[in-house]
């Protein structure tokens, strides 16, 4: 019975669709509820208390809708609220920081890793703490970008100065690092532009997160054994049309079940 319940996936907006895309590929039979809190974006410039309160509200929504597990498809929310949410809710919850760190440690050759993220994620040092758990001999360089999330949410192509903004931030990171963690789930949407300014290996935590989710469901005996394709519903606290146009372009299919929720 519990196997047929939904998985809740949430982000401060459209960025979490990068995680959603990988979950749909790996677990096509699962029913999913995606919550895009674009009405309260960006999270990266809010206080820890504000982020935690927003996340608790979303968890309440998932519990009300009888979700069997939750993926925090947002680095900032993972850094600010994962520990608190796992203490307060009995539902299994995973974030994206551990998978991202794990992926970077696997591929780096020279043990020098760059992290591009929101100002909150950078100031929390969550990637430094997580990477240190895997190896104490890493050199880690971080850069916080306040502009990128809002620009991606509003439509990246609409900004003529977008490459200039990217170049400015990436130039502040280590030139010798061979690995770059995209420490915000919005950033894989603009990965092609990021590649113009970084030639090493780029880590998108999405694949690792989807695999961690599968392992969690397996361990908890919550994997959906149905052979049918699962349902997918979107709940958005901001502008639905804006979310739909960016999400459809990235996901590669039309979004049918999309609903508005209060921010």
CB 32 within 8 Å of CB 230: yes
Output the pLDDT for position 61: 98
184 in catalytic set: yes
55 in catalytic set: no
97-205: what CATH class? alpha beta
pLDDT digits (tens, 9 = 90+) for 22-52: 999 999 999 999 999 999 999 988 999 999 9
User: Of 55, 67, 145, 184, which is the active-site residue?
Assistant: 184
pLDDT digits (tens, 9 = 90+) for 47-74: 999 999 999 999 999 999 999 999 999 9
What pTM, to 2 d.p., does this model score? 0.95
Please state the domain extents for the chain.
2-95+207-260, 97-205
Question: What does the pLDDT average to over 164-187?
Answer: 98
On the question of pLDDT at 211 being above 80, the answer is yes
User: Of 74, 126, 145, 149, which is the active-site residue?
Assistant: 74
Q: Which fold has domain 2-95+207-260?
A: Rossmann fold (3.40.50)
* Shared fold status for 2-95+207-260 and 97-205: yes
Q: Where are the alpha helices (DSSP H) in the chain?
A: 17-26, 48-64, 75-88, 97-107, 119-124, 126-134, 148-154, 162-170, 191-194, 206-219, 240-251
């Amino acid at each position: 019975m519990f196997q047929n319940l939904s998985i809740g996936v949430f982000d401060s907006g459209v960025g979490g669709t990068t995680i959603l895309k990988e979950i749909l590929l790996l677990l096509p039979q699962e029913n999913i509820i995606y919550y895009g809190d674009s009405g309260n974006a960006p999270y990266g410039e809010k206080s820890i208390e504000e982020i935690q309160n927003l996340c608790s509200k979303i968890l309440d929504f998932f519990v009300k809708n009888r979700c069997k597990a939750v993926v925090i498809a947002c680095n900032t929310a993972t850094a600010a609220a994962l520990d608190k949410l796992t203490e307060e809710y009995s539902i299994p919850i995973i974030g994206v920081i551990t998978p991202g760190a794990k992926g970077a440690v696997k591929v780096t050759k020279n043990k020098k890793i760059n992290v591009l993220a929101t100002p909150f994620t950078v100031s929390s040092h969550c990637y430094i703490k997580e990477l240190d758990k895997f190896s104490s001999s890493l050199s880690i360089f971080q850069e916080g970008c306040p502009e990128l999330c809002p620009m991606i949410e509003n439509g990246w192509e609409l900004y003529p100065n977008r490459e200039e903004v990217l170049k400015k931030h990436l130039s502040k990171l280590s030139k010798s690092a061979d690995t770059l963690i995209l420490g915000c789930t919005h950033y894989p949407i603009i990965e092609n532009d990021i590649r113009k300014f970084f030639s090493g290996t780029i880590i998108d935590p999405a694949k690792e997160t989807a695999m961690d989710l599968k392992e969690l469901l397996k361990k908890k005996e919550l994997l959906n054994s149905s052979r049918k394709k699962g349902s997918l519903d979107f709940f958005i606290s901001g502008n639905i049309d804006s979310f739909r146009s960016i999400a459809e372009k990235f996901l590669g299919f039309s979004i049918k079940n999309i609903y508005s929720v209060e921010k």
